[in-house]
Amino acid sequence: MSTRIITDSTCDLPAEFIRRYGIHVIPVGLNLDHRAYQDGVDLSPGDFYRQLPSLQKIPTTAAPATSVIQGAYQRARAADDDVVAIFVAASFSSLYQTAQHAARELSGAQGRQIVVVDSGQLSLGLGWQVLAAAEAAAAGESPDGVLAAVAATRQRLKLYALLDTLEYVRQGGRVNAFTAAVGGLLRIKVDVELTAGQVKPVFKTRTRRKAAEKLADLTHALGPLERLAVLHAHCLEDAQRLADKLASQAPEPPLLVEVCGAVATHVGPKALGVAAVTLAPAA
């Protein structure tokens, strides 16, 4: 018996990690002007960003159906595997609650566990937790050992983002309408931190350049890192410049990741971010 790791498409983990560890990724639903898609299945990030300028309304996301999540659980259990399922922050999506409901309906099978985890995160903030779980499972850890690896990563995780517009988070209810309105009026660029599912402003400026510099400063202040990814919502040149500034801060060059459509729906186009895991304290 082994432990199967399940997550959702907002994790933004590169395909090489998904394949290497056999991680099962459940696609989040995306609604674009009344057309429904499955994130990363019939709508790639490139297709999403190409359509975005011509949309009449800001896109929305939809949690997968209970039956879809149950299907993923059942396939894992058919292989006699326990399940650790780690999903996007419950404050961003009803997916976590749906996944819990799906697990309760399947509870009771002898010798098999289904554990559902609220990551409190988005994009590689979720993805780094998923990767830690997958590595622990590949090393033969029990579900409890896998959960310990996830918790240890979450405690050392920082996710910062530069939001070029607050309209997307305003419509999603993650900042109050007054803050979003002022930001739009004054063309303010905002650096935020996502922690425990909450978006917290950490820096405001009128220029994108200064906001990007602050993003680099916030990351440098974390000290040496175990893992680092630079995230972007269709602004590759900005992301590459930031990655170059941070290149020496982790053992490996930063991953450069264009976030999926479901994530961009929350943060808006031209968002720039950093997902970092600090070094574990010395034993």
- Say if 283 falls within a structural domain: no
Q: Is the pLDDT of residue 123 over 90?
A: yes
Boundaries of domain holding 257: 157-278
Q: Is the pLDDT of residue 173 over 70?
A: no
Closest of 133, 167, 188 to residue 55, by C-alpha: 167
> In this structure, are 130 and 182 located in the same domain?
no
Residue that finishes a domain, picked among 99, 132, 155: 155
The radius of gyration of the chain from alpha carbons, rounded to an integer in Å, stands at: 19
Residue 266: CATH number of its domain: 3.30.1180.10
Local confidence band at 237 (pLDDT 50, 70, 90 cut-offs)? very high
- Say if 114 falls within a structural domain: yes
Closest of 244, 274, 2 to residue 162, by C-alpha: 274
> In this structure, are 270 and 260 located in the same domain?
yes
For 4, half-sphere exposure in the C-beta direction (CA atoms, 13 angstrom radius) is 20
Residue that finishes a domain, picked among 155, 184, 213: 155
Per-residue pLDDT, 124: 98
Q: Is the pLDDT of residue 182 over 90?
A: no
Q: Is the pLDDT of residue 176 over 90?
A: no
Q: What is the mean pLDDT of the chain?
A: 91
Q: Is the pLDDT of residue 255 over 60?
A: yes
- The number of folded domains in the chain is 2
> In this structure, are 204 and 189 located in the same domain?
yes
Tens-digit pLDDT profile for residues 69-118:
999 999 888 787 899 999 999 988 999 999 999 999 887 555 578 999 99
Residue that finishes a domain, picked among 155, 182, 210: 155
Average pLDDT over residues 14-30: 96
Q: What's the CA gap between 156 and 168, in Å, rounded?
A: 27
